[in-house]
Amino acid sequence: MHIRLSDRSHALTNVSPLAALHGVPATVVGGYLGSGKTTLINGWLQEPGHRNWAVLVNDLGSINVDADRLRRSNGRVLELAGGCVCCTLRDGLGAALKQLAERPEPPEHVLIETSGMAVPRRVAAQLQLHRLEVARVLLVVDLERIEELWYDQWVGELVQQQFEGVDVLQFSKLDRLNPVMAQQRQDWLRQRLEEQRQRPSPPFHEERQLVRSDLWWQLEPLARQQVVDWSEQLGPEVLRAKGEVWLEDVADGPVSLDRIGNRLEMPTQACRPWSAPLQRRGRLIAISRATAPAPSWPATFQLPGGARN
Amino acid sequence: MVSAAADLILFGGPILTMEADQPRAEALAVAEGRILAVGDQSEVMALAGPNTERINLQGRTLLPGFIDAHGHFANALQVVAWANIQRPPAGPVSDIAGLQEVLRNHVAEHPVEKGEWVVGYGYDPDGLSDGRPLDKADLDAVFPDNPVMLIHNSNHGAVLNSRGLELAGYDASTPDPAGGVIVRRPGSHEPAGLVMETAFLPLFVHMPQPSDTERLKRFAKAQELYSSKGITTAQDGATVAGDLTLFQQAAREGYLQIDLVLLPLVLEVPGMLRERFPHFEGETLQLPKPALDSFGTYHDHLKLQGIKLIVDGSPQGKTAFWSEPLLTPGPNGEANWRGQPLVPPEVLNDAVVRLAAQGVQLFAHCNGDAAIAMMIEACRKAGLKPDQDHRTVIIHSQFMASGQLEKYAELGIHPSFFTVHAFYFGDTHIVNLGLDRASRMSPMASAILLGLHCSNHNDYSVTPIEPMRMVETAMTRRSRSGVVLGESEQVSAETALRAITIEAAWQIREESSKGSLAPGKRADLVILDRDPSSVADDELNGIAVVATFKDGQCIYGSATGAMP
């Protein structure tokens, strides 16, 4: 038997320092300074099911890091270092992920609380490049201040950009507005967002808990119609479903899928080539109301007639 | 005149003192690390004793040692272990074969194990005579088993070889991330090697991180990067918590030969305090008394001078914050892009009020006019006035709007300019901003007319350490392609030299001990092979450092004439 030394040493040395985090689901929670991100996340960290989640906090915009919060969290909350990459020759997000990857037990899920000045979609893009699985990008919006911030001379454009590519909008501090006012603000915001991008705005979520997300891997191809049928039977508790599906009628790569409300977008072309011919798979994420049960998936759901697909 | 005997007398060449009432002298005497006398040769020579060393400059030029008004010394500790693949004059590379040779020599001097990263810096495709950019195959040929990362001269990208791309996880199926690009081979999806912007960011986790022990060993080489250019006071202008600990250890253990000025990054201050004052409980950004007292005084060549705030990003990366949109799309393709602040105004205002009230000197990074306006407003709200002598410095002050310099004068703010941008990024600025707006960069002549103290910087490692290019670009404001950006802001050689000596000393409150040649000041000196005030503009950047002295001791080159 030949021992292929070169391959062996390759395996020993050529490993990404973030290998332990490849494929680990990640959540990005954005929102302007003071929007209520921390309150939402702290509440959610208390839940026993989230014991093995790690939280990365970037307080770049707020200057003073909440030291108590770091201390109380027993190492589950890590602080991201700030600064310009080209000045400091370091990338705060990468460095914090590396710290997580070096732990004996990698986290089940990584949650990033972005700086109030960050555009959450851009943070998500970096996580994707680090090969984490971005499960959801949420934006926490303070309806009381949003209209004033939207037009602010210094940060207005940034606040508007924070809505880019967000999966779900999560409202905070709704109790500070009377219901009529709250509804007016939501309508106002929906109009602004639709003006901005000519397609449905992200779904709104008003519960005072973070939305739930579920991830599904598709290991066998499906007929396009089956996916359409599945999408149509999803209830209103599923705020959004998105990802890439492996369809029988598209051979060269996965097809992107995005369902907002009742509207499904699933083009006829592949969104990219397969990484490798033998590594075909689809991947869907469903984001549901905090109290919703686990969703069904295209390969397993029952049509209303009871016929199994 | 003092009667003590001199340890050293320098004479026989132009001596540029940077002193207004005696700008030139014939000889300079040094005793016990300080300047004993400057003046006529006969007067100074009278201070010679039996043991005095006399150095004939033989027509070479003596100046005060240069002061780094803004840069990042910590980066030097990384860069000295990397291969220098810059184009001349900053480096040796002019074609791909030469680049491969540099890399081979580099690993001969800095051996790497199989699988370890090889890092180079200063890649510039425009500097290659091959007529094509570097491809991963050029690097695979030299390093089949080691990942290679050659950092682009913008510091915003790198060329990777096949092993490097594999480790990063980039292949034909990887889409370009928003705001970044994975450059492909012509006619295919296959990565060619170069990755830029957001596609480059994830590479930082792969960059070898030297241990503190290893970094301590690099202090000598890192300081030589400065002393070989005549710099006797360096700056770490955005100090992070881990580096503060290292710098303090280095100083204590005698590793520092030149002076090092630290500006802790405001975001890192809570962490620095937690580590050193675990029981201190104060308000936001409140510093305990011993921390406040530690500012402004050298201990073993190390001092903390102020706190660094960062208000926006960089103009060449289009992340600076302007009041008007650029002519080109934003970094993610945004229309009407004018950049963004990195901190909200309410946070900046609060930080400035709190720190200024404690007497902490502030250094704020602002490149675009909107970021500058935010900082001016924060200083106004904090009640800063010139007579408080607070010396708040706006680092870069790059693209100023009309009327802003007058506000600097009104509030006592002073600019540290970055004129080498004209050379390195001037052509890019013209594309993004148009010639008129681009020409407003680093308005040094206008600032001086208003009586402001203007320094100039390289912002190492954003640009190489090149004091003479600072002088040249302050005088000519010429881009790489030869366009002059704002002729009316050109300054004289004397003014350009003052910006890297006495004015830079003033901004760190050292004008009474450094920055000019006057009795009693530190004998921090540089000898240049030619007089920068009398050579043609295009020869400035070719002026060589013959020797550098710190506190009267030669720390680089040889004052007796042998060229290093």
With a CB-CB cutoff of 8 Å, which residues 387-416 of chain B face chain A? Answer: none
Q: Do B340 and A95 touch (CB under 8 A)?
A: no
Residue A8 confidence (pLDDT) above 60:
no
CB B119 within 8 A of CB B79: no
- Which residues does chain A have within 8 Å of residue B365's beta carbon, measured at their own beta carbons? 84
Residue A304 has pLDDT above 90, yes or no: no
pLDDT band at B153 (very low <50, low <70, confident <90, very high): confident
Residue B424 CB contacts under 8 Å (≥ 6 apart), including other chains: B316, B463, B480
Find, in chain B, the residue whose alpha carbon is nearest to that of A15.
B167
B529's tokens: 């092979």
Higher-pLDDT residue of B490 and B201 is B490
Give the residue carrying structure tokens 């912002």. B459
DSSP B392-436: EEEEE--BPPTTHHHHHHHHTEEEEE-TTHHHHHHHHHHHHHHHH
So what's the pLDDT on residue A275? 77
Mean pLDDT of B233-251: 96
pLDDT digits (tens, 9 = 90+) for B332-347: 788 899 998 988 899 8
Average pLDDT estimate for A175-201 = 86
Helices (H), B169-281: 212-217, 219-227, 241-252, 269-276
pLDDT in tens, B344-361: 899 899 999 999 999 999
Taking the C-alpha atoms of residue B159 and residue B157, their distance in angstroms, rounded to an integer, is 7
Percent over 90 (pLDDT), chain B: 83
Work out the angle between the directed axes of helices A92-101 and A120-129 (0-180°, nearest 10).
50
Confidence (pLDDT) at A69: 59
Strand B306-310 versus strand B302-304 pairing type: unpaired
- Contact B175/A at CB under 8 A: yes
User: 3-class DSSP state for residue A278?
Assistant: coil
Q: How far apart are CA B119 and CA B106, in angstroms?
A: 10
Measured CA to CA, the distance from residue A301 to residue B384 in angstroms comes to 67
Q: Is B155 exposed, middle or buried (0-12, 13-18, 19+ CB in 10 A)?
A: buried
Beta strands in B429-520 (DSSP E): 455-456
Q: Find the residue in A nearest to B351 (Cα).
A: A63
Q: What is the per-residue pLDDT for B2?
A: 46
Q: Find residue B33's DSSP bridge partners.
A: none
Pairing of strands B231-239, B259-264: parallel
CA distance A297 to A219: 12
What does the DSSP 8-state code read for residue B358? T
Q: Contact at 8 Å (CB) between B362 and B376?
A: no
A5-14, B198-207, B511-520, B523-532, range with the lowest pLDDT: A5-14
Instruction: Provide the 8-state DSSP code for B263.
Output: E
Cβ-contact A57, A77 below 8 angstroms: yes
pTM for this model (two decimals): 0.89
How far is residue B121 CA from its own chain's centroid? 16
Nearest to A269 by CA among A284, A285, A247, A241: A247
Sign of the alpha-carbon dihedral angle for B326, B328, B329, B335:
positive
Task: Point out the residue among A85, A94, A273 whose CB comes nearest to the CB of B172.
Answer: A273
Contact across the interface for B198 and A122, Cβ inside 8 Å: yes
Find all residues with CB under 8 Å of B135, minimum gap 6, and list them: B185, B192, B193
Q: How far is B249 from chain A (nearest CA, A)?
A: 20
B64 neighbors B525 (Cβ within 8 angstroms): yes
Q: Mean pLDDT, to the nearest integer, of B32-55?
A: 96
Q: What is the ipTM of this complex?
A: 0.82
Q: Contact, B37 vs B1, CB < 8 A?
A: yes
Q: Is B74 on the interface with A (CB under 8 A)?
A: yes
Q: Min CA distance, A59 vs chain B (Å)?
A: 8
Q: Is B356 helix (H, G, I), strand (E, B) or coil?
A: helix
Contact B201 A64 (CB under 8 A): no
The strand order across the sheet containing A212-218 reads A212-218, A282-288, A238-245, A255-260, A263-265
Within 8 A of B395 by CB-CB distance, chain A residues are none
Q: Are the Cβ atoms of A16 and B169 closer than 8 angstroms? A: yes
Tokens of B504: 């830079």
Residue A180's SS3 state is helix
In order of A41, A45, A247, the CA distances from A287 in angstroms are 16, 18, 22
Q: Which residue of A has its CA nearest to B77?
A: A89
Question: Is residue B47 within 8 angstroms of chain A, CB to CB?
Answer: no
Residues B177 and B197: their CA atoms lie apart, in Å, by 9
Do B205 and A12 lie within an 8 Å CB cutoff?
A: no
Would you place residue A14 in the very low, low, confident or very high pLDDT band (cuts 50, 70, 90)? low
Mean pLDDT in residue range A81-90: 56
pLDDT of residue A90: 67
Contact list, B155 vs chain A (CB under 8 Å): 85-86, 89
Flag the least confident range among A45-54, B263-272, B351-360. A45-54
Q: pLDDT, tens digit, for every residue of B388-418? A: 999 999 999 999 999 999 999 999 999 999 9
Q: How confident is the model at residue A86 (pLDDT cuts 50, 70, 90)?
A: low
Cβ A127 vs Cβ B169: under 8 Å: no
**In chain B, what residues touch A95 (CB-CB under 8 Å)?**
204-205
Percent of chain A with pLDDT over 90: 45
Whether A63 and B74 lie within 8 Å, measured CB to CB: no
Range with the poorest average pLDDT among A90-99, B86-95, B151-160, B361-370: A90-99
